Structure 1
Amino acid sequence: MTEDEARERILTAAEELYYRKGYAAVGMDELRAAAGVSLRRLYALFPAKTDIVAAVLARKHAQWESGLSGAVTDAGDDPRARLLAVYEYLENWFCADDFRGCAFINAFGELGGTNAEVAEIVRTHKASFQEYMAGLVADTGAPAALAAQLSILAEGAQSTAAISKDPSAAVQARGAAEVLIDAAFTRA
């Protein structure tokens, strides 16, 4: 097995295990067994668990950005529809059988208080989402404050859906987003 293949197996196993069981609950031996690599190989590729967590979160960030931007692009050219596509994307995600909340919120909750590197990765991811929303809002001509409001709705929906196991949190967030967007357009 090549180094790239071993790395991919480790990250695939880590992503699944961390998301299903939690970051702190998964030890290196369990990860090694799930990935089918030796402990020596695992540590050669990832000298510390934080290195694996960081790599998993980098993958999750890329998946999030790709999925979200794809949903927004699919919504067409109408700026309002593009904003609301964010909540449709969330609803589809929340309906997935393996939905267990936001991997970044989960990582921050488990490790953010004791691992500054993980906390910074999470903050950077969340800031990236807010910047993305700011760009979508700017395209509408609505006041910039709308971006933070819509981002908070999306973040709250993620936590609510994970805790309640109810994907309708996305529908409720979308309804609130429609009210905020309409009010912002009226003011603008």
Structure 2
Amino acid sequence: MKMPTHLQEKILNVAADLFYRQGIRATGVDAIVKAANTTKMSLYKYFPSKDDLVLAFLRKRDGDFRQWFVEQVDSKADTPEGKLLAVFDVIGAWMAIPEFRGCAFINAAAEFPLEGNPVHRVSAEFYDSFRSYISDLAKAAGCADPESLALQLSLLVEGAIVSEQMKRHSGAGEYAKQAAKMLIEGSIPHKKTRHPQKQTSQERQ
């Protein structure tokens, strides 16, 4: 696999920042070239079109975010059940940072709503992978229907992200966590330890 050059990586990083902060359609090639201190010729050498650059941005975002997210969840809980709830702690912390502008994939899908569009497909694939991750945790936790729980928790995450994007400090993350806790507890049969009952004097006779 050909390694990216320094300039190629710089262009991608600059574009990623602008796409996320300003929106994909609102960010033109001229703005990217200016911010990267390069030329259109150099940009098109590595990315033949803006669409190629957008897809590269989303794939990079996918890999970077997925690695960071899993590491954060793993650092907060040791059990599958604990990690399911930790998902909402990590999401909540991410939504609280000043640079938060929503989810890059939800934003991209909204800008390119047709399902056949490559940008829309990459965005949908991100959430397919996210649900698979949640489903694996639910399965490991002993949930009888891990796919249903994964869909429910994913919907809570997506809803919280959009709510927080529309109104900062909305408390959406905490409300989503509370709802998730009820869903998780209702979906995973907990092992109950049976304590031996004390015999009455009549039973002992």
Q: Percent identity?
A: 33
User: Match for 1:10: what amino acid?
Assistant: I
Q: Is the 8 A contact 1:91 1:167 kept in 2?
A: no
Question: Match for residue 155 of structure 1?
Answer: 158
Once the 2 structures are TM-superposed, how far is the Cα of residue 26 of structure 1 from its aligned partner? 0.7
Larger radius of gyration: 2
Alignment TM-score, normalising by the size of structure 1: 0.93
User: What residue ranges of structure 2 are gaps of 5+ in the alignment?
Assistant: 192-205
Q: Is the 8 A contact 1:9 1:36 kept in 2?
A: no
Question: Aligned ranges for residues 79-94 of structure 1 at < 5 Å?
Answer: 79-94=80-95
User: Match for 2:21: what amino acid?
Assistant: R
Question: Match for residue 201 of structure 2?
Answer: none
From the two aligned structures, give the one with the greater helix fraction: 1
Once the 2 structures are TM-superposed, how far is the Cα of residue 132 of structure 1 from its aligned partner? 0.5
Q: Is the 8 A contact 1:108 1:118 kept in 2?
A: yes
Give the alignment partner of residue 172 of structure 1, picking from 162, 172, 175: 175
Alignment TM-score, normalising by the size of structure 2: 0.86
1:122 matched to 2:132: no
1:28 matched to 2:34: no
Distance in 2 separating the partners of 1:93 and 1:55: 22
Distance in 1 separating the partners of 2:170 and 2:6: 35
Question: Match for residue 111 of structure 1?
Answer: 112
Q: Is the 8 A contact 1:54 1:121 kept in 2?
A: yes
Once the 2 structures are TM-superposed, how far is the Cα of residue 115 of structure 1 from its aligned partner? 6.8
Once the 2 structures are TM-superposed, how far is the Cα of residue 20 of structure 1 from its aligned partner? 1.0
User: What residue ranges of structure 1 are gaps of 5+ in the alignment?
Assistant: none
Q: Give RMSD over aligned pairs.
A: 1.9
Once the 2 structures are TM-superposed, how far is the Cα of residue 186 of structure 1 from its aligned partner? 4.5
